[in-house]
C-alpha cells in the first residue's frame, strides 16, 4: 500500500506526471565577471570546470553560456596538451 502512495505523489489531478520545477537558473561566471577569462594558462580556474576524473563539466551543471562553454572547452584541451591539466585522474 505504501508503494502506491509514493508513486501517486508525483502525479497531478488528471493522472499525468507532474513537471519538476527547478531552482534559479545559474548565471555564466564569465558573463557576470568580465575580468575572468577562460585561459589555458590559468589551471586553477579551469579545474573548477573539470571533474576529479578529468571530464569537462557540461553547461547545464556549470551554468556557463554556450559561447563561454566553447571557449572553456578549448582552454581545457589546450591546458591538457601543455601538461597544465591532467587528461585523467592519477588514482585507480
- pLDDT, tens digit, 9 for 90 and up, residues 25-72: 788 999 999 999 999 999 999 999 999 999 999 999 999 999 999 999
What total of structural domains would you count in the chain?
1
| Residue 89: predicted pLDDT | 77
12 lies in some domain: no
Indicate which CATH number applies to the domain containing 57.
4.10.640.10
Q: Is 2 domain-assigned?
A: no
Closest to 24 in 3D by CA, of 63, 55, 50, 77: 63
pLDDT number for residue 16:
72
- Provide the domain limits for residue 70: 24-92
Q: What is the pLDDT of residue 8?
A: 58
- Cell triple for residue 18? 507532474
Check residue 24 and give its pLDDT. 73
Amino acid at each position: 500500500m505504501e508503494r502506491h502512495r509514493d508513486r501517486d505523489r508525483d502525479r497531478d489531478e488528471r493522472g499525468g506526471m507532474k513537471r519538476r520545477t527547478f531552482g534559479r537558473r545559474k548565471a555564466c561566471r564569465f558573463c557576470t565577471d568580465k575580468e575572468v577569462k577562460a585561459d589555458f594558462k590559468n589551471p586553477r580556474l579551469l579545474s573548477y570546470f573539470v571533474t576529479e576524473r578529468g571530464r569537462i563539466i557540461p553547461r547545464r551543471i556549470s551554468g556557463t553560456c554556450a559561447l563561454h562553454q566553447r571557449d572553456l572547452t578549448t582552454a581545457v584541451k589546450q591546458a591538457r596538451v601543455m601538461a597544465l591539466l591532467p587528461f585523467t585522474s592519477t588514482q585507480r
